[in-house]
Amino acid sequence: MCASPEILKKHLTASSHFNTMKHGLGMESPFINAVAGLMTPTAQVSAAVESQSCASTPAAKRVFCCLCQDPVGIVKENSMEQAYCIAAVWLALAVVSTILANHLRVSMALLEICVGIAAGAVAEHFWGPDSLGANVEWLRFLASTGAVLLTFLAGAELDPAIFKAKWKETTVIGMVGFFAPFLGCAALAKYALGWSSQASWLAGIALSTTSMAVVYAVMLETGFNRTEFGKGILGACFVNDLGTVIALGLIFAPFTYKTLVFIVVSAIVIGFLPFVTKHITDKYGRRTAAIRAKWILLVLFGLGALALWSGSEAVLPAYLVGMVLAGFAAEDHLWVRRMRTLTIGFLTPFYFLRAGSLVSLPAIATAPTIFLIFFGGKVISKIFGLYPVVGVYRKEKNERWYYTLMMSTGLTFGTISALYGLTHGIVTRQQYSFLVATVIASAIVPTMIANFAFLPRHLLPDKSPGGGATATAPEVTVCVDRNEGNGLADE
């Protein structure tokens, strides 16, 4: 069957584009010429179309563009091969972060953020924006899942009895921890930097948070998650972030029927969750492979999807689910350890590394004063607001400073709030970069100071079998013993 003149013309044009592609990529070789000669006209059309954007890219990226195509011109940007390559790179960064955290004796989560910042800056400098694949949809899903599960585990660590006994302390400290930076940073953005009212309120919200992810990771690594001291910090962090969520919803998120549906369904699910979980555990637990882990993932993903549908965030119901199931976690540590292995070993590296890679160092370098104003405003307002209040409940100096500095961190809800503002046009990309950089810096600097200078070693749990917190515990570094029976060392 003969082709029409129009089709032949398109094929000839495609062949010309393919030759241009070969020269533009420096691919003039017998192999490529042979491949071009063997390609059908249709394949040459596909190759030419896909090569147009490649030919216009900088030379440093052309090799990557070429690697995204196979010999017949099929673009492999979304192929399984590329997904495995990206995952391998990110997990390699995670391994490097863990090794450095072990030698430097600092939190693994903080090292992952720092390594993410460095890797993102190097990749952007040599290969262009998003060359690490931080915005690939599946990677964003893994990072979001890591934040959801880490938030759930933080809630599951709360002992209901201790939380009830310390409700006044956690409520007062948590509310002060929210309002002090919220009002202080919003005022700085409005009157010192001249931001709009909406952008200023969003800056106040983004910088008012604590980081459940970072705090919980540090609690695990130090062993404070098993002490009354650490559980009190986690409870205050929850109250603080709850204030952030409510403020974001009241100021920016419109209250619609979807919001009402989300609240009602979440209340019903969380209300029945302990009874259903107990029934599943009694009937299928220890006889069916990981049934409790699968059940918890179903609940978290279901409520997360409902939260996103209503215009909220998937991490919001996760903490409440963890708190409701804290009693089950206290009775049986096995399934919690399985969830912890999945979360810490596979998911959270994507979250922390991605959070670091999103920071634009050139944008901050152009106006470092704005970053310093925000960082100083958040940390100073947190310290001046929290230190006197924490002193009411904690008299020992190291305990007071450690509590205050850990409450001065920020990451999960801070980045979520900043991203909400960017996607809804409340802040510009440059404003977003300053907010995220400040949030990440507040996750790193206060935590490192707290662990290096004010770690209350007398409250560290005894590492002997069955040991609890003891006043005569030997001196212990920030990183826990790898033979410990609880915490991250199990994994």
- Domain residue spans of the chain: 5-67, 88-490
Chosen CATH of 88-490 out of 3.40.718.10, 1.20.1530.20, 1.10.600.10, 3.90.1150.10: 1.20.1530.20
User: Which residues, other chains included, contact 40 with Cβ-Cβ below 8 Å and sequence gap of 6+?
Assistant: none
Return per-residue pLDDT of the chain as tens, 491 residues. 444 445 444 444 444 444 444 444 444 444 344 444 444 444 444 444 444 444 444 444 444 444 444 433 333 445 888 889 999 999 999 999 999 988 887 778 778 888 998 998 899 888 888 788 888 889 989 998 998 898 888 778 776 777 778 889 999 999 999 999 999 999 999 999 999 999 999 999 999 998 877 888 888 888 898 888 988 898 898 889 888 888 887 888 777 899 899 999 999 999 999 999 888 888 887 776 678 888 999 999 999 999 889 877 788 788 789 888 887 777 777 778 888 888 888 998 998 898 888 877 887 888 899 999 999 999 999 999 999 999 999 989 999 999 999 999 987 788 888 878 887 889 987 898 899 889 888 988 998 899 889 999 988 887 554 444 443 333 333 343 433 444 443 33
Q: Tell which residue, 97, 98, 170, 76, has the closest CA to residue 357.
A: 97
Rounded CA separation 476/482 (Å): 12
Residue keyed to tokens 């990110």 = 90
The count of C-alpha atoms lying within 13 angstroms of the C-alpha of 441, restricted to the half-sphere facing its C-beta, is 21
Burial label, 404 (beta-carbon count in 10 A; 0-12, 13-18, 19+): buried
Question: What's 244's DSSP letter?
Answer: H
Return the ∠ at Cα 411 (arms to 142 and 359), rounded to 5°: 80
- Is the whole-model pTM more than 0.75? no
Answer whether 157's CB lies under 8 Å from 169's CB.
no
Closest CA to 421 of 411, 433, 410, 409: 433
Spell out the residues 6+ positions from residue 119 whose beta carbon is closer than 8 angstroms to its own: 93, 132, 353, 356, 357
